[in-house]
Amino acid sequence: MSESTIQLRWATATDAQALVKLNDEFNGVGITEEEVADNLSYSNELVALAFINELPVGFVCAQYYKSICYSSPYAEITELYIRDGARRRGVATLLLGFVEEELKLRGVKSVKVLTGKKNGSAIRTYEKSNYVKKEEQVLHKKL
């Protein structure tokens, strides 16, 4: 990809096709455009897209919620993906900053990220954006 400005914006239902393609590259999950469009309309999820030369090159998803246990809303970055050709250009860092600013506006004071222990490039990206590793144990159960 040639040098140009990285553009960021919030995803809308009209971005469903691009999000399906990016998510399939990232997760290999066969979600439909209709499901993506519905999820964008009816969830507490923030989804931002990054573009280079008007082509979608990455996305970030964040969930936020308010709990009876805490005084301020809490958030989690659930997905962050940048296409190979757009990596190492600061796109992920820009996307993180973009979604973090919106979370701050919504009163969020803490953001959690779950990523694989062996995913060194993702860990470095998050650390570059001042995320800190915690010694918490993650437990998982399929239902």
Of 54, 72, 73, 53, which Cα lies nearest the Cα of 64?
73
Asked whether residue 140 is assigned to any structural domain, the reply reads no
Asked whether residue 114 is assigned to any structural domain, the reply reads yes
CA–CA dist 5, 11 (Å, integer): 18
Give per-residue pLDDT as tens, 9-26.
Answer: 999 999 999 999 999 889
116, two tokens: 């694989």
Overall number of domains in the chain: 1
Looking up tokens 């308010």, which residue turns up?
A: 66
Mean pLDDT of 44-62: 94
CATH number, domain with residue 28:
3.40.630.30
Please report the pLDDT score of residue 43 as a whole number.
Answer: 78
pLDDT at 2 over 70: no
**Of the listed ranges 77-91, 101-115, 127-141, the one predicted with least confidence:** 127-141
- Is 64 strand, coil or helix? strand
| Residue-number span of the structural domain to which 107 is assigned | 6-128
Give per-residue pLDDT as tens, 123-133.
Answer: 999 999 999 98
Does the model's pTM come out above 0.85?
A: yes
CA–CA dist 140, 2 (Å, integer): 42
Asked whether residue 1 is assigned to any structural domain, the reply reads no
